[in-house]
Amino acid sequence: MNRMGQFFRAVFARISKDDAAYIRKHLSPGAQELFFGMNLADQYHALQVAYTAECLADAEQEPLDREFLIRCALLHDVGRGKGDMGILGKVAAVLLHDLFPKRSRKWANPRCRHFYEYPGYMMYVYYYHPVIGAEKLLAAGFGEEAEVVRLHHRPLAEEDSLVLRVLKKADGMN
């Protein structure tokens, strides 16, 4: 049911004027460029993760840097750029991962760019978008955010920062 909800939210995704103001408030122009470099469904997803992360931060007993958390949430999927993987590509990647987890990882190939090779590139982006995103963030001068983004799909670990733990939870809820 959660996957069906994700699919319908992606199909009907839109960024309102209030959402755009929220993005401008929390992201510098360089970070906004990375954010808007994602497809609309990923932008909407990242925005929902940011809103959820803010709510989760309110319930935390430990202090955390809310602005940093919001930036990380808004930027956590920048490794999936426009044209890398649309809604149907994401559906296919999830299905391939669920049905053939070992084989689909072997198919992942960053050099596949032709139409007939697209599944290999799609699976590469699906599995490695945290690393791709971290590289983009590092290149743009967002080193701290890059470290959180790089780890956001890794299983929960004891050494995870509070920001990373909250981001992982918010991402899992959306």
Domain ranges across the chain: 2-173
Q: Which of 102 and 21 is assigned the larger pLDDT?
A: 21
Q: Is the pLDDT of residue 78 over 70?
A: yes
Determine the pLDDT at residue 166: 97
Q: For the structural domain made of 2-173, what CATH number should be given?
A: 1.10.3210
CA angle 167/121/92 to nearest 5° reads 70
- Which residue shows structure tokens 């909800």? 5
DSSP for 19-70?
A: HHHHHHHHS-HHHHHHHTTS-HHHHHHHHHHHHHHHHHHHH-SS---HHHHH
> Count of alpha carbons within 13 Å of 37, Cβ hemisphere only?
17
pTM (two decimals)? 0.89
What CA dihedral angle connects 109, 113, 126 and 41, to 10 degrees? 170
Determine the pLDDT at residue 8: 61
